[in-house]
Structure 1
């Protein structure tokens, strides 16, 4: 009995020590995760799992730590275990991340199934909306693919190399490679050395030298992602909040910031932090537009829609800065938008995991200067994009060559730089929203079921619609800076017109119609009642022109509203030309008009047609008369006579 008591006591002591030891491991792993030391956190949590832990928080953090280090296959494993725990209510973002990690395995069918689950549990999320709009995204990406020839560059290291940028006779890039000159400082986020900026000198398309940039730029902190003014004398780049030591926020994190340096007598000068940096959030990956008037960058500053967004800030002639502006939901999502680049032809390239893609970060493109309309965002497709992270894309718009980085399989290091030749530039569909309301001019009441046409400056129909129960209409047209016309037509009202220029994303206006009770007695000419000008035909032609078709829409509308009415179409010419020829031509035109109306839905038994040539002139401009051209034109008419 005594021996049993001793054994039991011994077991209790061992269990207590074991429990205390596990608690220490948990606290240590949690601290590593909270300190963004993800490599240590992964090791700590994996050890706990081996010891038998199957905790929701551990699976979440193992998934996230791997996801944020682009270890998508491992992340997929831990997210899968998380969703294997029954009875949990899990934040929708985990559904999205799990779907993303499945893509990295090439499991697009499974990924799409989890996207459908993500849609079902997310209330309002732009990523869900973009997926719903394009469930056939793989077909779209396939159509965009094959437009680049890609090759890995020779100067990659076994570590992380990325963020290439054109400069002088070569490129500037970021690397975690070990130069051997100093002891390597390891970054706890990913277990690699801190980044520095390097230059690869390229002559005759061959790399002749790779060297670090000035110590005025490179420090003990991270430096990466450069951009240069057109003259090459000013550089913007990314660095930790660092000046004789790391500056940290209240959580002890040294955020990323953007710095500027100038080149004087061939030497980079002391760096200056930009005035809108802050220790509470990060700014990174700057890029300048062609004239240097705007600086684009990625940030998680207040106002960010997701984990990081693309922003821009204006730069005045004296080098001063405006207030950073978010590019908005046309570009940014609830995910990660990062590594912007503006090409010389004003295309914005960026990487995102918030849009339908092949997996991880994909490279997308859109028009950078919105100008008019909402611009389409295009996935560049393979071989630029893969199941892994593809990012930091730059291209010379003139010679169609460029670089980007990827952690795809088959590389030399963690991230590698690739060169490419562009075979075809991205193309975009740009749309403008046209919205409006139709009202009665006399009392401002709304008018429903009104036919609305949008015409271009040449009078060609771009689109048409009908006002709804609120008198409102909405259409989308391709972007255009020309003057457009909206025409509203309703029975018992005079036609309403308004000219406008589509110079905003959304153009809203009111079209007013004046009441005008139609004369609909037998023998009346609807052309006069409906204020239809001459129905023009091309010389010696009898087919209905586009402008004539728009006028005939008024006849169609009236005939539809009054289905009991019948029409006799009467075509006339002036007296110029051969009498028999004019008679034949007018007959052909009358019949052509009848066929057009029948094709639009008017029954044949409601229509008759006859050509009269010059037999029923509207004035005394007979053969050989000295009438003016204008008086002759009065005889070139089509009548739409109401008949029993």
Structure 2
């Protein structure tokens, strides 16, 4: 009984609120009903400014912006409206606007909500079948040939850095060392091996006792001039350790050291300033230009356990302040074993990114000063064990990876690999030119769309007219280029497995196309039984707005049409709504209402006169708005 009273009270209050909304919103509602979305939006906003906002007002305001494809404002007001009501259709439109604004994760959340409320809706079932409309991480397949490196033992071996004709690894094979309690194997040392003419490796040689101590030593990396070697070592050597007051066990950290080449050997071992008794620093990797040192550390301020950092190598050999590579690379888990290759691709191992199990090898690259999306290298480099210490010669496409996968010789083994196919990232270099002068256009806006028509990212061209994008292999995409005083253009980009793809896009200056006999105004098209402006229609209308801004005496007539399905009277009303949406979009972009007339023609003037036997494509061609120039400065 109590619940029934509560329900009746809510229904009564809802009715009162609705009456108040209708009274307060009368003017705005009339404008909305007349499809005057620009004026209606202003009227609804005035109500909000006076403190008369409500879910109804916010929703109506969102609908205004939705119908003229102002996606930013539509997103904003749908979100506000949905704070106090759960309208499935509104949720769907909110998801559309989020997607249009490149907010794919948030869009997916709203689609999940929509699908749960309307599980039998075709849009819901289609989404559930393929929720990942963003460019996906492809199944990498077997891009590498991987095999045992041939020098592994029953003990642990890992690493694999080639330098000056030798291969350097870390191994627990030295039986003269005492065993380490963690795995009951000898402490780790650094070894070098010489490659034989047949491709095999000779006997592993222990490096000198300036490098190797009775404690653990780890991975190595060399400066390009070969004069400096960086490596890891336990802090016991520096007599830095902590003692647990309860267990009485001593805990050491891992430190980074550098050695200097003297003749044919290494000497003058120095501890780096980045070391601290409070945390570990390990896994060094020097960039190809010798200017940057990458490493992993669990120093305070990171995102997880171990993170990847970089620091400048100063001219005097000192190391600059460590810089965390950020959340694109680092997770709440562990990121270790960075390797920066000669083409500045960063490879590393992680158990925080999605992988096959244990630690997997991932890679990324800096584009425009930012990290590209992190990609899984795939099988057979990665397994369901721990896969780490990846290194590669980008010229020969050969390298090494370490793993504790099944079938090895010891607990960790080194595997040699040969890359068979490119990894699945493609660098698209888009160059935008003036079609008349062939000069590069600086400041052009270039947007990347995925195969589903979702905007992924927008960039601005530099002084060379260039904008760069990272996409996945074999994924079709599209580039949309917009520049003031030029005709906008969309260019399809076919998916490829090539690592780099150059795309040249030439834009026509508006002057080039602006004599009365040469102006071409493309039609726009509508979805079946819909009158809202779509993304593709907005692109064409923006080109029309560009021309009208350039030539303020231009007056346009828009005529809207339907296909032959539906009654004559219904199609007449539908075409009028389409005409109004078309007109309102142009007005919303700052064009005076007196410069664009709009008229609905129903089904009376089909573009393709196919009667009752139209195909879906023919119907689609008939659902359109077309434009005619009524007046210009040359012909008034």
TM-score, normalised with respect to structure 2:
0.52
Choose from 202, 213, 217 the match for 1:208. Answer: 202
Q: CA deviation at 1:564?
A: 6.0
Contact 1:372 1:479 in 2 (8 A): no
Choose from 221, 229, 244 the match for 1:227. Answer: 221
| Counterpart-to-counterpart distance in 2, 1:330 and 1:396 | 25
Counterpart check, 1:476 vs 2:457:
yes
Contact 1:142 1:382 in 2 (8 A): no
Choose from 152, 164, 170 the match for 2:166. Answer: 170
CA RMSD of aligned residues (A): 4.5
| 2:188 matched residue in structure 1 | 195
| Counterpart-to-counterpart distance in 2, 1:364 and 1:478 | 25
Counterpart check, 1:332 vs 2:330:
yes
Counterpart check, 1:551 vs 2:543:
yes
- Provide, for residues 320-356 of structure 1, a one-character-per-residue CA deviation record: whole Å limited to 9, x for no partner: 2211111111110000000000100000000000011
| Counterpart-to-counterpart distance in 1, 2:201 and 2:349 | 27
Match runs of 1:94-173 below 5 Å: 143-173=139-169
Q: CA deviation at 1:266?
A: 1.1
| 2:300 matched residue in structure 1 | 302
Which is worse superposed, 348-357 or 315-324?
A: 315-324
Match runs of 1:83-102 below 5 Å: none
- Provide, for residues 526-576 of structure 1, a one-character-per-residue CA deviation record: whole Å limited to 9, x for no partner: xxxxx9856459x999796999975325578546456962599xxxxxxxx
Q: CA deviation at 1:268?
A: 1.0
| 2:470 matched residue in structure 1 | none
Contact 1:391 1:405 in 2 (8 A): yes
Q: Residues 303, 459 of structure 1: CA spacing in aligned structure 2 closer, same or farther, 3 A cutoff?
A: closer
| 2:374 matched residue in structure 1 | 377
Contact 1:169 1:203 in 2 (8 A): no
| Counterpart-to-counterpart distance in 1, 2:131 and 2:584 | 42
| 1:358 matched residue in structure 2 | 356
Contact 2:444 2:482 in 1 (8 A): no
Contact 2:141 2:379 in 1 (8 A): yes
| Counterpart-to-counterpart distance in 1, 2:310 and 2:260 | 21
Contact 1:285 1:338 in 2 (8 A): yes
| 2:29 matched residue in structure 1 | none
Q: CA deviation at 1:478?
A: 5.8
| 1:630 matched residue in structure 2 | none
| 1:319 matched residue in structure 2 | 317
Counterpart check, 1:424 vs 2:421:
yes
| 2:251 matched residue in structure 1 | 253
- Equivalent pairs counted in the alignment come to 379
Q: CA deviation at 1:601?
A: 6.4
Choose from 369, 391, 394 the match for 2:391. Answer: 394
| 1:622 matched residue in structure 2 | none
Q: Residues 141, 152 of structure 1: CA spacing in aligned structure 2 closer, same or farther, 3 A cutoff?
A: farther
Counterpart check, 1:284 vs 2:248:
no
Structure 1 gaps, min length 5: 1-133, 433-455, 466-473, 498-530, 569-597, 611-615, 619-633
Aligned residue for 1:393, secondary structure, equals strand
Contact 1:196 1:218 in 2 (8 A): yes
Q: CA deviation at 1:488?
A: 10
| 1:403 matched residue in structure 2 | 400
Q: Residues 298, 370 of structure 1: CA spacing in aligned structure 2 closer, same or farther, 3 A cutoff?
A: farther
Contact 1:567 1:608 in 2 (8 A): no
Contact 1:145 1:380 in 2 (8 A): no
- Provide, for residues 186-225 of structure 1, a one-character-per-residue CA deviation record: whole Å limited to 9, x for no partner: 2122222110001111022121231111111000000010
Contact 1:142 1:381 in 2 (8 A): no
Aligned residue for 2:202, secondary structure, equals strand
| Counterpart-to-counterpart distance in 1, 2:460 and 2:202 | 47
Q: Residues 600, 305 of structure 1: CA spacing in aligned structure 2 closer, same or farther, 3 A cutoff?
A: farther
| 1:348 matched residue in structure 2 | 346
Q: CA deviation at 1:393?
A: 0.3
Q: CA deviation at 1:410?
A: 0.6
Larger radius of gyration: 1
Contact 1:378 1:426 in 2 (8 A): no
| 2:232 matched residue in structure 1 | 238
Choose from 462, 467, 475 the match for 2:446. Answer: 462
| Counterpart-to-counterpart distance in 1, 2:185 and 2:131 | 38
| Counterpart-to-counterpart distance in 1, 2:428 and 2:184 | 46
Q: Residues 566, 171 of structure 1: CA spacing in aligned structure 2 closer, same or farther, 3 A cutoff?
A: same
| Counterpart-to-counterpart distance in 2, 1:416 and 1:275 | 32
| Counterpart-to-counterpart distance in 2, 1:599 and 1:549 | 17
Q: Residues 140, 149 of structure 1: CA spacing in aligned structure 2 closer, same or farther, 3 A cutoff?
A: farther
Contact 1:429 1:478 in 2 (8 A): no
| Counterpart-to-counterpart distance in 1, 2:370 and 2:266 | 41
Counterpart check, 1:271 vs 2:269:
yes
| Counterpart-to-counterpart distance in 1, 2:324 and 2:192 | 31
TM-score, normalised with respect to structure 1:
0.51
Contact 1:365 1:426 in 2 (8 A): no
Aligned residue for 2:139, secondary structure, equals helix
Structure 2 gaps, min length 5: 1-129, 245-249, 430-439, 450-454, 468-479, 489-508, 524-535, 547-555, 559-581, 588-592, 602-619
Contact 2:444 2:483 in 1 (8 A): no
| 1:565 matched residue in structure 2 | 598
Aligned residue for 2:288, secondary structure, equals coil
| Counterpart-to-counterpart distance in 1, 2:460 and 2:180 | 48
Structure number with higher relative contact order (C-alpha < 8 Å, ≥ 6 residues apart): 2
Aligned residue for 2:543, secondary structure, equals helix
| Counterpart-to-counterpart distance in 1, 2:380 and 2:300 | 35
Aligned residue for 1:144, secondary structure, equals coil
